[in-house]
Structure 1
């Protein structure tokens, strides 16, 4: 069994036993490797974001949170290549999550599907994002938590202003990402280019719900639609 296959099987072994922990010695015997190899594999899974953790004390070992992982999913070679291409080209604000998702995708596959995904991804290049990770994280958190976001924003002329924004969603167009929301300062719906946001501070203040389509109405993005791959989701 190669390492990629073993990493995938290791997660499924822990999932099947959850919430009971599995001792390292038992895992080593199960996969016919040394305890040192199992420890190395578990550490690699942790670093890639898989929610495995050590359970200390009598009867301890390793376990995985089944609520935080997906059951086995089998992709065709074409599906795997499409996912790899989408993840490899994902930009702000999901570049970091896309990178770890791509690593997990490869770790979960073997055979032609894995080869197709890895080959295609190796032939894709992209310019780096100009959005600071801290800004990206603040925007993501405000959208997910539905809270007001405080921005320092530079317009096309370089003039900076402070804005309190109630986020409605994200728009991607021509390689750029925009935060769409209700600007309390302007008392209107606005789009903010993420590469022009110089600072973003999340607050604990709940934001009023705003419909993304309604905020885009009358703007240059009024005809924006969900990406085709998500239209039926």
Structure 2
């Protein structure tokens, strides 16, 4: 068994035993390798973001949270190449760029032979044009969306006017190469779109955000005769037009 296959097998062995921990000695016996190799493999899993943890003392050992990982997904070579290429196109300013980068590394590590070489070559031929978005602001937006909390932000619109407000994030919109935070603005009492590269400061609060329908927020600033789409997938072109993309400056409006 090569090392890549063994790493995946280790994860599945820990998942099968969860929440009961397994000792290094038991894992070494299971895979017929040394305890030193097991320790090194477990450290590698930790370094790549796999939620494995160790519990010291009698009855302790290594375990994994099954809720935090996915079972093995068997991609074809073409599917793995497509995912690797798509993730390679994620720029540093894209929301969840860090997670996308580690996901790409895991996919690439799981591939061997010609398929791996083809995927890496394809990814190397994709260039993402960088955009200006502060990493701390992006992280704050990600945290607010993930934990469903209100976000305190400062925003500068196209005319250079800066406003401060608290918003309740609902989702993200990408249009014409830009990313927008779609949120309920407590100041305007309406749905608003905020271009991420025009947010000058953002801090998650400890206030829980109320649930808002993303479609309703996207359509909140459209003309009265706007046609409500039947699915969110078909909403993107209409929503971009509704918010005035590429300007999308309703975030700073009344």
Q: What's the TM-score once normalised by structure 1's chain length?
A: 0.84
2-side partners of 1:188 and 1:27: how far apart? 55
User: Alpha-carbon deviation of 1:42?
Assistant: 0.9
Mapped partners of 2:154, 2:19: distance in 1: 45
The answer on 1:93 being equivalent to 2:106 is no
**Native 8 Å contact 1:23 1:62 kept in 2:** yes
Q: Which residue of 1 aligns with 2:58?
A: 58
Number of residue pairs matched by the alignment = 226
| Paired position in structure 2 for 1:191 | 193
1:60-79 CA deviation, whole Å, 9 max, x = no partner?
32121222111111111111
Structure 2: where are the runs of 5+ without partners?
235-254
- Write the deviation string for residues 131-170 of structure 1: whole angstroms up to 9, x where unpaired: 2222122212222333321111112233322122122211
CA distance in 1 between counterparts of 2:158 and 2:140 reads 22
1:8 is the counterpart of 2:11: no
- Post-superposition offset of 1:98: 0.6
Kept after mapping to 1: 8 A contact 2:90/2:128: no
* Deviating more after overlay: 64-73 vs 119-128: 119-128
For the residues of structure 2 that align with 1:110 and 1:61, how far apart are their CA atoms? Answer: 31
Task: Return the alpha-carbon distance in structure 2 between the equivalents of residues 172 and 86 of structure 1.
Answer: 15
Displacement of 1:44: 1.2
Preserved contact between residue 77 and residue 112 of structure 1 (Cα < 8 Å): no
CA distance 1:207–1:36, change in 2 (3 Å): same
CA displacement at 1:178 relative to structure 2: 0.2
Q: Distance in 1 between matches of 2:175 and 2:207?
A: 29
Map of 2:25 onto structure 1:
25
Secondary structure in structure 2 of the residue aligned to 1:7: helix
Q: 1:14 to 1:177 in 2, by over 3 A?
A: same
Distance, in Å, in 2 between the alignment partners of 1:212 and 1:112 is: 43
* Structure-2 change in CA distance of 1:66 and 1:168 (3 Å): closer
Q: 1:226 aligns with which of 225, 233, 239?
A: 233
CA distance in 1, matches of 2:81, 2:155: 38
Provide closer, same or farther for how the CA distance between residues 178 and 129 of structure 1 changes in structure 2, counting only shifts above 3 A: same
With structure 2 as the length reference, what TM-score do the two structures score?
0.78
Label 1:130 to 1:2 Cα distance change in 2 as closer, same or farther (>3 A): farther
**1:55-134 equivalent positions in 2, closer than 5 A:** 55-91=55-91, 92-110=94-112, 114-134=116-136
Q: CA deviation at 1:54?
A: 1.2
- The SS at the match of 1:226 is helix
Query: After superposition, what is the alpha-carbon deviation per residue over 1:82-131, rounded to whole angstroms, capped at 9, x for unaligned?
Result: 21122222342110111122223234444565444333223323234522
Partner of 1:174 in structure 2?
176
**Shift in Å, 1:194:** 0.4
Please tell me whether the aligned partners of residues 53 and 64 of structure 1 are also in contact (alpha carbons under 8 angstroms). Answer: yes
